[in-house]
Chains A and B, each alone.
Chain A
Amino acid sequence: MDKIRTAEEVMQNVKSGDTIMVGGFGLVGAPLTLIDELTRQEVNGLTIISNNLGEAGKGLGILLRQGKIKKAIGSYFTSNREVGDHFNIGKLEIQLMPQGTMSESIRAGGAGIGAYYTKTGVGTELAKGKEVRVINDENYLYEEALKANVALIKAQKADTLGNLIYYKTTRNFNPIMATAADYVIAEVDEIVEPGELLPEEIVTPHLYIDAIVKSKLILTREGVVER
């Protein structure tokens, strides 16, 4: 079964109105080639689940400028000042989540868990409208799982089956997003034959992955460049 595709091919799976998870902590570990291809698509009304919306005019920041994002779910949009500008003129809905709650909600979404309770956020403005439950004399907040139609993730290396390994702190949200979407596209810097990755080192087993795309844009010391 061949999962290797071009970025153009896999984007046929993205439709207007979709919810899309995008890996990365800022640009670190973001699937830059897939994001670039997404900006070329005639789609709109997207809900993006990602820690940030890139930086101003970079990564998901391009998609924001194009007005294709209806709603952003994430934990730290401060790194792109244009997010606030779009919000102020009513062009963007924002759902801000504590980073741990966002991560856990994605993990839950991928594990078939509908919702869970956490202490994080209790008694704060982010708890408004949410159920509080007392468990062992402590207050916990009800949080629902997150799922998506499509996940765009970044790994260092894949085998052709779709087993993945990651590189240092570029791992971040990518392995959990791989579990929580109907169609999961992994952008990788290197593709090897099955057997070349040690079973013990595989972080994301292949059953989560629908398509593999070789990266064209990568983050270097000089910024984002074409390889």
Chain B
Amino acid sequence: MNTLKDVQELIAQRAAQEITPFATVNLGIGIPTLIAKYADSDKVFFHTENGMLGVGELKHPSNFDPGLVNAGKLPVAEETGASYFHSADSFAMIRGGHVEMAFLGALQVDESGFIANWAVPGKNIMGVGGAMDLLSGAKKIIITTNHCTKNGEPKLVKSCTYPITSTRKVNTIITELAVFEFVNDRLKLIELMPGVTLEEVARNTEADYEINWRKESK
């Protein structure tokens, strides 16, 4: 059996393949944070909204610098060519369309392409962070999430019941079961993860989708 950790690593590993060479990429909290170690660090520039371009993986975790963290407040390292800037500049990069890809987690994604990833109904809304900014500005939004909640409820739903993060639609969804893309506003299943059947995806997905195999096989 796959543990939750294994599943998250699997999603992160697949997500890293979506990174185009020399793209500027922002990684959200949770599964997206795991993507960095699967990416070719010579061919990507990681941006973090707390004010850095050129985020690197920490090679010696015990030797961390408390003044060098990512947006998840985890210690990170500095790649060659890195730079620091203040929060308004950092969000100008995001909101101004200068960040090419953002990988984000989600509570729900619906068949219209809207995501909910910042608030749960009936609970105090205590944080939004940079989620809405990334949705409004990043050129490509890739959602990395477990296919279902801990209680086994589908996260790919017909219509988000949690408050949406933006009216901007996401581009790609990667789960431990499959990869989906929005093409002409339609949700398409383009790839099954290894060992997964179409029936398994159907059983765990509430949203309507079409099957549209990606031409090149990965």
Contact = CB atoms under 8 A, between A and B. Distances in A.
Contact of B67 (A120, A176, A219): A219
Contact of A120 (B68, B87, B136): B136
Given A104-B91, A124-B163, A166-B84, A97 B128 contact: yes
Interface in A83-103: 83-84, 87-88, 94, 96-103
Interface residues of B, number: 45
Interface string B17-60: 00000000000000000000000000000001111100000000
Query: Interface residues of A: mostly helix, strand, loop or mixed?
Result: mixed
User: Which range holds the interface residue count of chain A?
Assistant: 35 or more
A66 interface: no
Contacts of B90: 103
Interface string A131-150: 00000000100000000000
Contacts of B130: 75, 98-100
A173 B86 contact: yes
A51 B119 CA distance: 17
Nearest to B90: A103
A81 B50 CA distance: 21
Interface stretch (A4-12, A24-32, A38-46, A56-64): A24-32
Q: Max chain B CB contacts within 10 Å: which of A94, A118, A169?
A: A169
A71 interface: no
A78 interface: yes
Contact of B88 (A106, A167, A170): A106
Minimum-distance CB pairs A-B, first 5: A100-B91, A100-B133, A78-B127, A123-B167, A107-B88
Interface of A: 25-26, 28-29, 51, 75-79, 83-84, 87-88, 94, 96-104, 106-107, 118-126, 139, 166-176, 203, 219-221
